[in-house]
Amino acid sequence: MFEDVYLWIKALHVIAVIAWMAGMLYLPRLFVYHSEAEIGSKQSETFKVMERRLLKAIINPAMTVTWLAGLYLAWSGHWFSFGWLHVKLALVLVMSAVHGFFSRWLKDFAADRRPRTQKFYRIINEVPTVLMIFIVIMVIVKPF
């Protein structure tokens, strides 16, 4: 029975990670396009709705489920003594911080504040990808 629950939680974790990453890869791309839109334009207002819905309906819940399911898996699998998990958790903490920055920048866009350039958002768009690569390596390869 425990094994079945573990596998269902693991599946839930993977699904949540995919949803979280999809949002984390798409939201900064929306910021790139939003930063080009004229303040007050219909396009700008559309981006505000898209960004808010993406964050509230997909990214936030997916991050929460990722954390809860992941911590359960680590606890029930007795993984906390392994170095690879420590590195993975540190990287997921960084990903969560990036998520927090995205949330803050969304509020800036919602208030028509644009203190950053389009180039900034293009560069920051790569951060979740790099983090994801190292997280997956820790989980699959378990180098230490």
Residue 69 has pLDDT above 90, yes or no: yes
Distance CA 4, CA 18 (A): 21
Q: Which residues are annotated as a binding site for heme?
A: 13, 88
Which has the closest alpha carbon to 75: 4, 140, 144, 10?
A: 10
State pLDDT tens for residues 118-127: 999 999 999 9
Which has the closest alpha carbon to 15: 51, 64, 53?
A: 64
Q: Which residues are annotated as a binding site?
A: 13, 88
* Mean model confidence pLDDT for the chain: 97
